[in-house]
Amino acid sequence: MKKMKLALLVLLSIIVLAGCGKSAKEEFFDAAKKTATESSSNDFSMKIKDIKLTSDMSGDPSVNAMVTQLKDIKVTGSIQQDVKEKLSATDLKIEALGQKLPLSFISKNDDMFLSLDILKGIANISTQFGASLPFDELTFKEVEGKYINISEKNELDIDTKNAKAFGKDYQVSVAKYFDSLSEERFTKKDDVVTFSITKKDIVELAKEYNKVAKSKKTYAEYVIPDLDKVIKSLPKNITLKINNNTKSQASDMTMLIEFDKNEQVPITSVELLYTLKPNDKKVAIKVPAKKNIMTMDEVSELLAATEESQLNASYDDVKIGDAEFNQLLETITTEDLSALTKNDIDSLLASYKEILTPKQYKAMEKTLLKNK
């Protein structure tokens, strides 16, 4: 989890770069700031560009097959944001193992709504692996066009106001750090400005993170207590190369992670590619109407009901036939049941209930209670 925080640090740092002027460094910051603060509509994609295996693993067919599958994973989509109205809409598609999983989010202020169309995608993927999930056509019909407010229950119990204050203070710290960097680290060719974030930068940003977290008592929950250990556990090298087109506002980022042989991982490096390109879509972002928003409890109840229905259907498949039941009933009538108590009979009826039809159950009940 702490390593993930550091990874998010890097992405946050890229978003909040700030500056002004016309040097390569300042143009880079201007483009980044414009992307983060102006209403826009963009297409994006993320994928694993390359994976290099260690020498002892490169000849293993199963490992190579796994690498091929990983390299086939792709995330594409679009994101629209209306800064003035604090609205955004994200549609993305995850492609993996021959399947496509659609995800759609709409956010307004602190609320984020997830389209429940995702259930059909999850069902399709689970079917491929032979798994059974509590989704059926009735479920899909019930949730069609519906959303769930995933901000409704704050499982992490985060104070939103405090989190925003911490984020704002950290952004100021990040901006100061990037402003202090040398001009030589920024290069420009035609309209494209290039800048690389190194592992050293990531470590410094992590230290800044803890410095801000320790600056106020109200930020104490954000402190990473064993930060030094987390930093030492980072891969041998991490580099993010960012290209910003100051004219078209398109950008791409390549992240290269290299591992030391002592880290006991089967790969020497992995390279990730992220691209962002403005599009001309101008679709109004609409927050789901109240009637189309389901609570988490409502979704849980719907899935529980579907699961129970599926379970009952499976029991229907094991009901015994009338011929078999008549033989069972005939056998019971020849037995001496006088020693059975009412509790014994109730237990027998309960055990038979799952495999008998309502008509059979009544006949069994009548037979067992005949002399009671």
The model's confidence at residue 307, banded by pLDDT at 50, 70 and 90, is low
If you average pLDDT over each of 116-130, 233-247, 304-318, which comes out highest?
233-247
pLDDT at 209: 95
The model's pTM is 0.67
DSSP β-ladder status, 192-197 and 147-149: unpaired
Percentage above 70 pLDDT, the chain: 81
Q: What is the mean pLDDT of residues 220-239?
A: 93
Separation between Cα atoms, residue 273 and residue 252, nearest integer Å = 7
Separation between Cα atoms, residue 92 and residue 115, nearest integer Å = 11
pLDDT value at 114 more than 60: yes
Exposed, middle or buried: residue 31 (CB in 10 Å: 0-12, 13-18, 19+)? buried
pLDDT value at 99 more than 50: yes
pLDDT value at 241 more than 50: yes
pLDDT value at 287 more than 50: yes
Picking from 156-160, 187-191, 224-228, 277-281, which range would have the lowest pLDDT averaged per residue? Answer: 156-160
pLDDT tens per residue, range 312-365: 544 455 567 778 778 878 777 777 777 778 887 788 788 777 777 788 888 888
The model's confidence at residue 190, banded by pLDDT at 50, 70 and 90, is very high
Among 58, 46, 37, which residue's Cα sits nearest to residue 93? 46
**23 Cβ contact list (under 8 Å, min separation 6):** 183, 186
Separation between Cα atoms, residue 87 and residue 81, nearest integer Å = 6
What residues does 278 pair with on adjacent strands? 42
188 vs 129: which has the higher pLDDT: 188
Percentage above 90 pLDDT, the chain: 31
The model's confidence at residue 129, banded by pLDDT at 50, 70 and 90, is low
Picking from 76-80, 249-253, 352-356, which range would have the lowest pLDDT averaged per residue? Answer: 352-356
Strands in 293-294's sheet, in edge-to-edge order, are 186-189, 192-197, 237-245, 251-258, 267-278, 40-53, 74-82, 87-96, 99-108, 111-115, 147-149, 293-294
pLDDT at 29: 77
Q: What is the mean pLDDT of the chain?
A: 80
Per the CB < 8 A criterion, the answer to whether 186 and 23 are in contact is: yes
pLDDT at 50: 93
> Roughly what angle, to the nearest 10 degrees, separates helices 2-15 and 160-179?
60
pLDDT value at 6 more than 50: no
pLDDT at 7: 47
Buried b (16+ CB within 10 A) or exposed e, 61-82: eebeeebeeeeeeebbbbbbbe
DSSP β-ladder status, 251-258 and 87-96: unpaired
Separation between Cα atoms, residue 50 and residue 219, nearest integer Å = 39
Q: What is the mean pLDDT of residues 161-190?
A: 89
Q: What is the mean pLDDT of residues 157-174?
A: 82
pLDDT at 143: 80
